[in-house]
Amino acid sequence: MFHHSSKLQYPVKVDKPNPQFAMLLQQAIGGIEGEIRVAMQYFFQAMGARGDDRIRDMLMSTATEELSHIEMLGHAVALNLEGAPVSYQEETAKDPVMNAILGGANPRHLLSSGLSAMPVNANGVPFDMSHIYATGNVGADMLANVAAEAGGRVLASRLYNWTDDHGMKDFLSFLIARDTYHQQQWLAVIEELGGMQAQLPIPNSTPEDHEAMQHSYYYLNTLLDKEAPKGRWGEGPSLDGKSEYSIVNQPAPEGQEPTLGKAKPNSGAQNEQM
């Protein structure tokens, strides 16, 4: 069951409101790199977590933290929209620089939300829940979480680089820090589970006789006019310790030509196809 405190997890200040930055911040709320995504991803992973209950508890606990991040970002958006013009005749709207800034603002912050945050990204596209990756496989889920937090920290760093507002930089430095930890947190789960070698290939429960293992350890170079790039992926022991890497250049197809024959009567095709 969830509970709430009326205060924010970390202070959120804006020195100089900027409607264009409000629009950029939306990416951290409703973007695929954003906080709704991780909050809901950890929540649904938790609700399907089978096996070690410590991991379910961690998922739910961190999902809860991410909800608090949405709350802070939502407040940051509203503070950046304080003073945004609601009429073309307002002084601010007539100023060429402000007009340029407004050109880059989200018009729905004016029209739809009444100067507050929305569950959309920086293009105004609503977040959709197909981005919640929760497989029921702890290895796949942990990797998806590290990847999500990596994307999140890239985004927070770009936002930090863009703004020159001290309040916003302070707030973003907190989000950057938490993303640092969360990357490590999910990798630490993998370490607990025996590390990458024990977990690979994911799922590690697939019996070897379900796999055409002669195709499991070569790099396939489909480039016609270049040799395969040389590197760790083409030589040395495989990362799961089970085989050696090799390279296959310019592979010939092994399969058949995929002809389907004639269309079935009454299937709605043209007569010429039957």
Q: Which residues, 181 to 220, sit near a second copy by CB under 8 A?
A: 181, 183-185, 187-189, 191-194, 196, 199-206, 210-220
Count residues contacting a second copy (CB under 8 A)?
197
Task: Give the Cα-Cα-Cα angle 152, 158, 162 (nearest 5 degrees).
Answer: 145
Count of positions (residues) in the chain: 274
Closest by CA to 74, choosing from 66, 86, 84, is 66
Q: Which is nearer to a second copy, 4 or 91 (CB)?
A: 4
Residue 36 within binding range of a second copy, rule CB under 8 A = yes
Give, as ranges, the residues between 103 and 162 that touch a second copy (CB under 8 A): 103-108, 110-140, 143-144, 146-147, 150-151, 153-155, 157-162
Output the smallest distance, CB 41 to a second copy, in A: 9
Q: Is the peptide bond before 11 cis (omega within 30 degrees of 0)?
A: no
86, 91, 92, 244: residue in contact with a second copy (rule CB under 8 A): 86
Residue 9 within binding range of a second copy, rule CB under 8 A = yes
Would you list the DSSP string of 46-63? HHT--S-HHHHHHHHHHH
| Three-state DSSP state, 137 | coil
42, 80, 89, 167: residue in contact with a second copy (rule CB under 8 A): 89
Give, as ranges, the residues between 214 and 273 that touch a second copy (CB under 8 A): 214-226, 228-233, 238-240, 245, 250-273
Cα distances (angstroms) measured from residue 156 to each of 10, 33, 150, 244: 16, 9, 10, 39
